[in-house]
Amino acid sequence: MPHLPESVDPAWLTPGAFRAIGSRRTLVRGGEGPVVDSVHEEVAEACARFGGHVERDASPGPYDLLLDLTGDDGSEAFTFTRDDGRTTVTASGRPGLLYGLFHVVRLGEDAFRGEARRETHRPALGLRMLDHWDNVAVHPVMGQVERGYAGGSLFWEDGRARGNLERVRAYGRLLASCGINAVAVNNVNVHRAEARLLTDRIGEVAAIACALRAYGIRTHLSVSFAAPVVLGGLATADPLEGGVRAWWAEATARVYEAIPDFGGYVVKADSEGQPGPFAYGRSHAEGANMLAGALEPYGGTVHWRAFVYDHRQDWRDRTTDRARAAYDHFVPLDGEFASNAVLQVKHGPMDFQVREPVSPLIGAMPATRLAVELQATQEYTGQQRHVCWLGPMWSEVLRFRPDGTPVAELADALVAVSNVGDDRFWTGHPLAQANLYTFGRLAWRPDADPLEILDEWIGLTFGTEPAAGVRTVMEGSWRTYEKYTAPLGVGFMVQPGHHYGPSVDGYEYSPWGTYHFADRDGIGVDRSAATGTGYAAQYAKPWAEVYESPETCPDELLLFFHHVPYGHVLHSGRTVIQHIYDTHFEGVEEVEAARRVWASLVGLVDAERHARVTERFEEQLRCAREWRDQINSYFFRKSGVPDAHGRRIH
């Protein structure tokens, strides 16, 4: 276990979580190397604390727990057996042994009692990854971590990799304990200093990779498509040029010399100003395949992001619809991507709003490998100042069936943009740790009930006494956030640039393609095939039909797909305008109620954590009231329709 300053929060791996293991006799058998060493160290530290005993590779004396590595096939699966008063974890690969250990930690005393049982556990998705939008140097506008709300970077400090990587190792440990197995260590917006991580600064990445390797985490790197020009001095980055291909082959060979188990590249190309193959008249498949070719000899993968749209559109142009863009760009390329190229698609067609439909690109490219990208960092969901547990949203996405098969089964990988920084609590808002944990557990088992995952996290982090209260505060927090912010799937309405707090027209006359089209009569974007942008027709049946008509479109997405009058009656029986008023009053009341519940937990939760959340609740409530009053006033003034309940609107 890494040695961290006392001030760093153990998150859900509290010392108490290891009591059951630490008070017993354990044998760790088979294998060697950093991951097996970590397993042994974990048990040894727990035993030192709680009086138990651990042996490694000794002849089996009496023991309560056997952690048994039977092979070296790299498998992540493990078998848990409870038999004859003894608990055994068997794995044929080192990662499986590690995941089996953390399974026992999660079970606590339950791992050591009860009936005979035998269960095999294996992850549903092979790649469970966090992408960090960390800049090596502090960026003048975006700071060090782009869309980061938890302090500086865990990896980078003063323009270089941190000298002391204990915290990185501890991060790897937290990630492994919830099933995550890969990390991309730098921002997809690759600035010049960051570009050099690929070449002369690869040693810094190797040091980070070494710290993460101890917990089975593979390291990936975001690279600039223009690297051959920017770093190599070539005249072009054209993916079909022999010299360019040779440059990437050479650079990649050096990366693998430094990091033999390197995971691969992440690329944001032709997106929000990042360079890409369009500049050379090449397709995105040609761009991705060139990098896939360089990685292929070493078993690496290129994650090619599908976030390609026109960010300089004319707001007057009603024919361009940003929601359509990813599908329009990529579906024609299905079947053209190399087998080690993975198309990384944001879960919604826009940009991580509190409510979006599932991207129609998911399921529309059966001959292309798919990674679904979620956002743990709460850019549009309260920026880790508001409680917003995203488990239910992610679970809905993963269970959605675009064409009969759930999203989770269509995907090869699940990726989340990390919400972690060098903050004492890792995530700024202590309750945002639950998003990190939930992401890992859902990536392992996407059909899990998210509430069970929440309870698991609460139990590990808080113990039993405050558990019911913490659950009350968190379980409905995503829907509460949705209530007091942009209504019925219309999205945005945030302050431009930093994206925090309300500004109904903040993006309405901008080039970003994120409009709501509210006027005195109605609101929403007509994305129907009959009269709108045709976006609804990008879905397979039945969704194309469900979304096409306001009569069948689910209420929560109505304004994403349709422009309707304020008097339009929802399936709920309320008019759109009354829904807006009601949900905004309700949302604030729910925050007030959650804040009271949290206040009642004083003394049951450690003082610092309690104080940090209390302070954040003050801000959440202030901001929720601001949202309520701005949204309600805006729509009252636009529509002239009074609130049916006569509440005060400004």
Binding site for ligand GCV (CB under 6 A): 133, 146-147, 188-189, 268, 272, 307, 351
Give every CB contact of residue 348 below 8 A, 6+ residues apart in sequence. Answer: 356, 357, 358, 359
Closest listed residue to residue 346, CA positions, set 491, 194, 245: 491
Provide DSSP, 460-471: HHH-STTHHHHH
Which residues face 120 on adjacent strands? 79
Q: Please tell me the distance from the alpha carbon of residue 397 to that of residue 607, in angstroms, as a whole number.
A: 36
Catalytic residue among 134, 204, 351, 556: 351
Distances 177 to 126, 170, 173, 174 between C-alpha atoms, Å: 16, 11, 6, 5
Give every CB contact of residue 568 below 8 A, 6+ residues apart in sequence. Answer: 522, 550, 558, 575, 576
CB atoms within 10 A of CB 425: 22
Distances 61 to 32, 53, 278, 536 between C-alpha atoms, Å: 21, 11, 66, 65
> Strand ranges (DSSP E) for 393-514?
413-417
Q: In the chain, count H helices and then E strands.
A: 20, 20
Q: Please tell me the distance from the alpha carbon of residue 418 to that of residue 422, in angstroms, as a whole number.
A: 12
Q: Find the shortest distance in angstroms from Cβ 499 to ligand GCV.
A: 7
Count the residues in the chain: 650
> Catalytic residue at 379?
yes
Contact 628, 584 (CB under 8 A): yes
Outline where 186-339 has alpha helix (H): 192-195, 202-213, 227-230, 242-258, 284-295, 325-330
Q: Find the shortest distance in angstroms from Cβ 216 to ligand GCV.
A: 27
Q: Please tell me the distance from the alpha carbon of residue 155 to that of residue 314, in angstroms, as a whole number.
A: 39
Distances 491 to 86, 269, 381, 584, 591 between C-alpha atoms, Å: 53, 25, 11, 15, 20
- C-alpha dihedral over 627, 630, 636, 642, to 10 degrees? 60
CB atoms within 10 A of CB 551: 8
Radius of gyration of the chain (CA): 25
Catalytic residue among 9, 42, 379, 475: 379
Q: Find the shortest distance in angstroms from Cβ 351 to ligand GCV.
A: 5
Q: Which is nearer to ligand GCV, 238 or 351 (CB)?
A: 351
Q: How open is the CA angle 295-298-303, to the nearest 5 degrees?
A: 40
Strand-pair category, 78-83 with 143-145? unpaired
Q: Find the shortest distance in angstroms from Cβ 268 to ligand GCV.
A: 5
Closest listed residue to residue 21, CA positions, set 114, 87, 81: 87
Give every CB contact of residue 90 below 8 A, 6+ residues apart in sequence. Answer: 68, 70, 78, 79, 81, 100
Q: Please tell me the distance from the alpha carbon of residue 587 to that of residue 67, in angstroms, as a whole number.
A: 48
Residues marked as catalytic: 272, 351, 379
